[in-house]
Amino acid sequence: MNCLQVARVLQSYLDGETDEVTARRVAAHLEDCRRCGLEATLYEEIKNALARRQQPDELTLHRLRDFGAALLEEPPPDEEADGA
């Protein structure tokens, strides 16, 4: 899977709502891709904070804003070449 494919199913994966094959593929990508791994960690932190009904800490909010801004930029070079 590439970053774009993972982004499309990440929330479902984190919620345990993907099939076994997709879950394995996403997990493998998250282990190899630092950017997507950080995104998954960030989503989990936000999800956990919301479950505790607490506001995410400033670092988490800053990382989320940075990640959102990065999504508006061009994809990383490895993502452009990766068609799988």
- What pLDDT is stored for residue 76 in this prediction? 57
How far apart, in whole angstroms, are the C-alpha atoms of residue 54 and residue 8? 27
- What pLDDT is stored for residue 24 in this prediction? 97
Tens of pLDDT, residue by residue over 6-43, are: 999 999 999 999 999 999 999 999 999 999 999 999 88
Q: How confident is the model at residue 2 (pLDDT cuts 50, 70, 90)?
A: very high
- Which pair of tokens denotes residue 19? 């099939």
Tens of pLDDT, residue by residue over 41-77, are: 988 888 888 787 766 678 877 887 887 777 777 665 5
- Which pair of tokens denotes residue 9? 């199913």
How far apart, in whole angstroms, are the C-alpha atoms of residue 10 and residue 15? 9
Element holding 77 (H helix, E strand): helix 77-81
Domain boundaries, position 62: 3-81
Question: What is the count of structural domains for the chain?
Answer: 1
